Chains A and B, each alone.
Chain A
Amino acid sequence: MTARPRVAVLDYGIGNLRSAQKALERVGADAVLTQDATVVSAADAVVLPGVGAFGACMDALRDVQLETVTHDAVASGVPFLGICVGMQMLFDGSEEDPDARGLGIIPGQVKWIPSSVQRPQMQWNQLNIRRDEPMFSDLGEHPWMYFVHSLHGVPTDSDCVTATVQYGDTLNVAFRKGNVFATQFHPEKSATAGLGLLHNFVASVKS
């Protein structure tokens, strides 16, 4: 591939998006923070980040008219990556805000992690990769990633879980459904391993 893949990072006014943008640039993408539907539809890949509360993020996404744009991007077949609450928003709903409706792209619910452990899990933890997955290529068997979360995704179809971690229980932390990838951890904050995953994501853009 000659040109740098264009990655649209959906910007709906939440906290730190710049790290995701800079990490994608570091691994060879031309990354732009945007809420412009035309920029998103022209992109080679799309990233949905998210921090904070599920309901607040869904509201913010809808406020800037990015909900339909997100569905269109997923339907277009381009590589799509949800990160942290951006991952959680892909589900139908969340125990954190039972009244808030999710995007419903990955059927299932987002549920609290056990209260027997400190919440949030705010630490590095080691993935158990459940199946061969291009996103994890060259990362080793148990890469370390950085987590900040109190809930995790429980999909209806457990086959879409690609990695778990142990924290109070076995938590689902990475998912794949067609062209949609999603991680509970922050690859943009996970040093070399995280950059490796983002590199794999950018490399999945068809030349």
Chain B
Amino acid sequence: MNSDIVARVIPCLDVTNGRVVKGVNFVDLRDAGDPVELAARYDTQGADELVFLDITASSDGRDTMVDVVSRTAEQVFIPFTVGGGIREVADARKMLRAGADKVSVNTAAVQRPEVISDIAAEFGAQCVVCAIDAKWDASQNRWTVYLHGGRTATELDAVQWAERAVSLGAGEILLTSMDRDGTRDGFDIALTKAVSSAVNVPVIASGGVGNLQHLAEGVTEGGATGVLAASIFHFGDHTIAEAKDVMSAHGIRVRPVG
């Protein structure tokens, strides 16, 4: 890895109807379900960026997400990305104007790839993250792109889709292994490596982190420059500082905490 690269540690918050899904085990939070308070906590802890994933089903709930973004921008002074329900330029504009730095597109981009170029043309490639959920398909000897949290298979090869998304203007790839998500067995290193080698934009590895060693492997072996995790941070197993200490011990440059 180039020694000028500084890896990013990125906690991810799943939000539905303006509340964080799954309890978050920070003992002294006033309101463990408030995404804004959690985001501020991660900022203080030394997180490099944040991702909010809005898993709200209803459109009413999505308006709630705009409010979450807006309140976050008043208190959190690190970059944050909002994903979930971004279907067109107007959705992106709403989130960016409310204070998000980037939006991530997933299902909408698979269904209508131009949404990537549309958003990039108006706001720049740096604020378009293409989120890809991929699962290994042994019969085809490839990773297949899935939609709807891994329930719906597409015809797309994940590595090829990542390349196409970047050519359309995605400035970053958020890559989640559906095989590893929730397992705590570590990132799918082969998948991460395949995608990070294929594209010249930053790749954020996601799915499967069970310990801090896994975060380091995503960078040193997978070639990711960002590592995303939820449960190991939310449940208080580890702090951002501990994560960075372990990554640093593996020779990865990180922004020190504090």
The listed residue (A53, A123, A167, A195) touching B124 by CB distance below 8 A is A53
Are A51 and B74 in contact, CB atoms less than 8 angstroms apart? no
- Cα–Cα distance between A14 and B122 once the two chains are bound (Å): 8
Q: Are B202 and A19 in contact (CB under 8 A)?
A: no
Q: Per DSSP, are chain A's interface residues mostly helix, strand or loop, or mixed?
A: mixed
Q: Is the CB of A195 within 8 A of B77?
A: yes
Complex Cα distance, B211 from A190, in Å, reads 27
Does B48 contact A120, Cβ atoms closer than 8 Å? Answer: no
Give the size category of B's interface with A: 20 to 34
Cα–Cα, bound, A195→B79 (Å): 13
B229 within 8 A of A: no
Closest to B93 in A: A15
Contacts of B70 in A (CB 8 A): 18
Judge whether B101 and A16 touch: CB under 8 Å: yes
Q: Are A22 and B74 in contact (CB under 8 A)?
A: yes
Q: Per-residue 0/1 for A180-203: is the Cβ within 8 Å of any B Cβ (1 yes, 0 no)? A: 000000101111001100000000
Are the CB atoms of A14 and B79 closer together than 8 Å?
no
Establish whether residues B73 and A19, one from each chain, have CB atoms under 8 Å apart when the complex forms: yes
CB-defined contacts of B99 to chain A, threshold 8 Å: 16, 18-19, 22
Question: Within 8 Å CB of B48, what residues of A?
Answer: 123-124, 146
- Flag whether B97 is at the interface (Cβ < 8 A): yes
Query: Residue B202 contacts which of A118, A125, A168 (CB distance < 8 angstroms)?
Result: A118
A-side interface residues, number (CB < 8 Å): 34
Chain B residues contacting A119 (CB-CB under 8 Å) are 200
Judged by a CB distance under 8 angstroms, whether B154 is at the interface is no
A144 at the interface (CB under 8 A from B): yes
Q: Give min CB distance, B226 to chain A, whole Å.
A: 8
Residue of B whose beta carbon sits closest to that of A148: B126
A16 x B77 contact (CB < 8 A): no
Cα–Cα, bound, A146→B6 (Å): 11
Please, which residues of chain B bring their CB within 8 A of the CB of A52?
122-124, 126-127
Is there an interface contact between A124 and B4, defined as CB atoms closer than 8 Å? no
Q: Nearest 4 pairs between A and B by C-beta?
A: A52-B124, A18-B99, A124-B255, A15-B96
Q: A125-B4, A190-B78 are in contact. List 13 more A-B contacts (CB 8 A).
A: A15-B96, A16-B97, A16-B127, A19-B73, A22-B74, A26-B77, A117-B2, A118-B200, A118-B202, A119-B200, A122-B171, A123-B225, A168-B2
Binding site for A on B (CB under 8 A): 2, 4-8, 43, 48, 70, 73-74, 77-79, 96-101, 122-127, 171-172, 200-202, 225, 255-256
Could you write out 11 A-B pairs with CB less than 8 Å apart?
Answer: A15-B124, A16-B100, A51-B124, A51-B126, A51-B127, A52-B122, A117-B2, A123-B5, A123-B8, A168-B2, A191-B78
